[in-house]
C-alpha cells in the first residue's frame, strides 16, 4: 500500500487562504471570519469545537485538513504544582514542556528543538544530542497544551526548554509573534523570554526586532577557559565578543538582558570566578539570576552550597549589579533547568 500523505494542518493557512477556501466550498464570506476566529483568538484544537459552523462544513474541512496537535505521552506533577509533559508530534519526535503556576499566573517553559546540539556539560538535554528543530506551530502547541491542561490562561512563556532557540531563529521569532499577537494568545512581549547560550548572530538579529521580547543569556562563567569547558558548543563566540554584542543590544533596545548562572561546586563558585563575573557585569545594564545547579544522574557536577550562592549575590549587589537567587521549580520530577531529557516514565 502507498503511504498516505498527511493532511495539511489547517492552522498553517493564511487568512487569505482561509477566505479563498470558504469561497471555494460555496460558503458565505462570514464563515471565513468565524473560522479565522476559531483558529486564532479561540485557539480551537478540533473541528468539533467550531460549534457555530454547520456540521456539513466541519465534515468537509475535516476531510481536507487536520489539527496536528501533539499527543501527551506522559505527565508528571511536582510537589510545587509544576507539571512536566512529554509531548509527541506526528512524526514520532517528542519534547518536554513544563507548566509552572504561581499566584494566579501561569508560566510555560517551551522547547524550541527536540534535543540540543550545544553539548553543555551540565545539561541532560545537551548530552542527549539534537534530533531536529521544531516549527513555530509546534512551539506554540506546547503552550496551548499546558493552557488546556491547567484550564487557565498562560501569562508568560520562557524559551528555556530543550534546544538552542537561536539555532532555530526564524521559527522561534514566528512563534514569539504568534504568542504575542492579539489574534493569538495575546501574551505581552515583555512576558516572552528567549534564553540563548550566547549565539552572537542571533543576539544581533534579535536586537533589530520591533517587539520588546526579553533576552536571557546562559552565561555560567565569565572565565573563558571555564566557559569553554562547560559550554563547548559556543566556544567560538568568545566572552569579549559576547560582551560587545550585549552592549550593542542594550544600546539598540534599552532593555536589560538577564544572565543565567547555574552555580557548580568547585567550578564556577570560586573567588576568582565570582570576581570575574562581577567585573563582566559591572557598569552594564543587566540582571543576574543565580541558581544552584540542578542534579543530573551520573553527572560529575554538584550544586554549590547555598552559602556560596548568597555570597555571590552580596558581591554582585556591592558592585551595583542586580542579582536574584532563583528557586528551582519541578526539580523533583526532573523538570528544572538542565534536567529535560525526554525520559519516558512508565505511566502504567
Could you give the residue numbers annotated as active site? Answer: 96, 337
DSSP designation for 115: E
Residue 195 to residues 68, 169, 173, 246: CA-CA distances in angstroms? Answer: 27, 12, 13, 13
Sequence-ordered alpha helix ranges (H) in 80-233: 124-128, 136-150, 169-180, 200-206, 224-230
Q: If you search the block for the grid coordinates 539570576, which residue do you land on?
A: 289
- Taking the C-alpha atoms of residue 211 and residue 190, their distance in angstroms, rounded to an integer, is 9
Q: Are strands 83-88 and 94-102 parallel, antiparallel or unpaired?
A: antiparallel
- Set of cell numbers at residue 154: 498562560
Neighbouring residues of 127: CB distance < 8 A, sequence distance ≥ 6: 119, 296, 341
Q: Measuring CA to CA, which residue among 152, 162, 167 is closest to residue 87?
A: 162
Neighbouring residues of 319: CB distance < 8 A, sequence distance ≥ 6: 278, 281, 282
Q: What angle do CA 42, 6, 1 make, to 5 degrees?
A: 155
Sequence-ordered alpha helix ranges (H) in the chain: 15-24, 30-39, 55-64, 124-128, 136-150, 169-180, 200-206, 224-230, 239-253, 271-281, 306-318
- Set of cell numbers at residue 66: 487536520
Q: Measuring CA to CA, which residue among 164, 174, 171 is closest to residue 199?
A: 164
Q: Are strands 71-77 and 258-263 parallel, antiparallel or unpaired?
A: unpaired
Amino acid at each position: 500500500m502507498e503511504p498516505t500523505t498527511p493532511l495539511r494542518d489547517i492552522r498553517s493557512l493564511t487568512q487569505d487562504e482561509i477566505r479563498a477556501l470558504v469561497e471555494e466550498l460555496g460558503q458565505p464570506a462570514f464563515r471565513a471570519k468565524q473560522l479565522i476566529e476559531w483558529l486564532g483568538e479561540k485557539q480551537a484544537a478540533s473541528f468539533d469545537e467550531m460549534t457555530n459552523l454547520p456540521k456539513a462544513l466541519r465534515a468537509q474541512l475535516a476531510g481536507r485538513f487536520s489539527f496536528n496537535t501533539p499527543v501527551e505521552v506522559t505527565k508528571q506533577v511536582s510537589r510545587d504544582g509544576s507539571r512536566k509533559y512529554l509531548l509527541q508530534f506526528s512524526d514520532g519526535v517528542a519534547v518536554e514542556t513544563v507548566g509552572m503556576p504561581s499566584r494566579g499566573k501561569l508560566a510555560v517553559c517551551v522547547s524550541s528543538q527536540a534535543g540540543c546540539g550545544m553539548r553543555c556539560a551540565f545539561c541532560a538535554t545537551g548530552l542527549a544530542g539534537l534530533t531536529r528543530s521544531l516549527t513555530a506551530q509546534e512551539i506554540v502547541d506546547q503552550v496551548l497544551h499546558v493552557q488546556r491542561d491547567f484550564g487557565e490562561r498562560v501569562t508568560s512563556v520562557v524559551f528555556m526548554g530543550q534546544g538552542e532557540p537561536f539555532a532555530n531563529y526564524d521559527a522561534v521569532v514566528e512563534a514569539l509573534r504568534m504568542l504575542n499577537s492579539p489574534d493569538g494568545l495575546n501574551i505581552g512581549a515583555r512576558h516572552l523570554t528567549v534564553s540563548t547560550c550566547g549565539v552572537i548572530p542571533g543576539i544581533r538579529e534579535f536586537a533589530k526586532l520591533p517587539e520588546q521580547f526579553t533576552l536571557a543569556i546562559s552565561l555560567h562563567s565569565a572565565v573563558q577557559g571555564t566557559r569553554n569547558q562547560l559550554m563547548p558548543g559556543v566556544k567560538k563566540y568568545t566572552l569579549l565578543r559576547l560582551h560587545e554584542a550585549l552592549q550593542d543590544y542594550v544600546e539598540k533596545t534599552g532593555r536589560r538582558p538577564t544572565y543565567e548562572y547555574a552555580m557548580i561546586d568547585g567550578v564556577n563558585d570560586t573567588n576568582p570566578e565570582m570576581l570575574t563575573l562581577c567585573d563582566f557585569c559591572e557598569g552594564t545594564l543587566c540582571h543576574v539570576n543565580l541558581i544552584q545547579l540542578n542534579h543530573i544522574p551520573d553527572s560529575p557536577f554538584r550544586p554549590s552550597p547555598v552559602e556560596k550562592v548568597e555570597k555571590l549575590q552580596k558581591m554582585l549587589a556591592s558592585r551595583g549589579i542586580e542579582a536574584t537567587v532563583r528557586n528551582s521549580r519541578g526539580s523533583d520530577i526532573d523538570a528544572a533547568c538542565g534536567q529535560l531529557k525526554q525520559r519516558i516514565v512508565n505511566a502504567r
